[in-house]
Chains A and B, each alone.
Chain A
Amino acid sequence: MNALQQAEAAKLKDRAYSRNEVIEIIRSVMGTIDKDSDESLKLHNELSALASYIENMRSELAQLRSIEISHNHIPTATDELDAVVGETAKATGTIMDVCEKIEKIAGELEAPVGPELSNAVTSIYEACGFQDITGQRITKVVKTLKHIESKVSEIISAFGNMHPNAVAPVVKEEKTGLLNGPQLKGPASSQEDIDKLLASFDK
């Protein structure tokens, strides 16, 4: 093989083949097989099954309405989640504004009302931390959805044009196990666990 042929071979090796090209290659190989011997017939049947498998995969992907998933469903879901983060941040900001006003008034009141009011405001500050936690979790979910969107787009690209009007099967929505953010049960540690861990270094 000369240098030019090697370069051409390297180019072919590195590039991704489309679905149609793969089927074309399989059919081309099938056309060259002499079906007289058992082994050749077996190879021919295997290749035929492979070509059918790829065709079926394309059909199944079309039924899943993959284009709608990547172009409509996921972008809509991520937009809505982004809106949730924005709205909760806005609402939390309003709560904090009011708390700061109440705290200022509490400072001017005598005991026990003033300190009790301040303590209540402190509890509200603590509770407002939910916005940070939920915001981080939702951001992780959005990143995951965008990753899925990108992968679905790659599959669509690899399998060529789908049939967007194909009837999608009804899929029951899975409502558990999606959120993989911080502080869910599992690998996360409690403050107590972390204190013990850090204290162990001081011994």
Chain B
Amino acid sequence: MGTGHAHALYVHEHSPIHHLPPQVKIAGAVAFIFSVAITPREAMWAFAIYAVAIAALVRISKVGFGFLLTRLIGVLPFIAFAFLIPFIASGEQVDVLGISVSRDGLWASWNIIAKATIGASTSIVLAGTTEVPDLLAGMNRLRVPTLFTSIAGFMIRYLGLIVDEIGRMRTAMTSRGYDPRWLWQAKPIAASAGAMFIRSYERGERVHDAMVARGYQGEMPELRRRDPSVQEWLTAAALPALGITVMVIAMVAT
């Protein structure tokens, strides 16, 4: 596919990471993120190693640091929140630049910022090197029920369309002078949400009829199924292996 949203999130390149089978990548990313999440926050060196590993990953996968940074902006609201913790948390106070803040709060803030950034970077590389149908096929291989992944597939396929339709409704309302400022002026928005539901539902019925006419029997045919080789599992295991080793050392050391 490669329309709508999928396009913006996928970086078309030919790197070793792009060519790995999706299930291997998903398993590797999830294992790595879990090891990062478990790592004790006091082990700053461990997070430095994770950051280097991410940088290497970005380099090898050719997704580009600019792409990573742009996408990381999505995590920003939480980072802003993390910066507030030291000021509201309780416990022993320390002075930073002449302002009294909570020591535990500072640690908590660092903890969330570091883990959220590394976790999101890993997901961004995963999504940047794997096309959406492959991601879903990979989830299937990892025993996620087909019912779940096929619904997700349809969702992603129609998301761009529906978002555009909402955009058109909004344009239509704005061009007729609708500029709500208070909750009691929200009726037209709610009515368009309702209209949107009906249109989506009826589109679903039509799509299903069209699919049945073309021989659909409840499952999409798989176009490129390929079982990963031992070599590929080992390649993808490198990142979580590093993560788990660092995490274990950090837990023993602190």
The reply to whether chain A is a binding partner of chain B is no
| Interface residues in chain B, defined as those with a beta carbon under 8 Å from any beta carbon in chain A | none
| Interface residues in chain A, defined as those with a beta carbon under 8 Å from any beta carbon in chain B | none
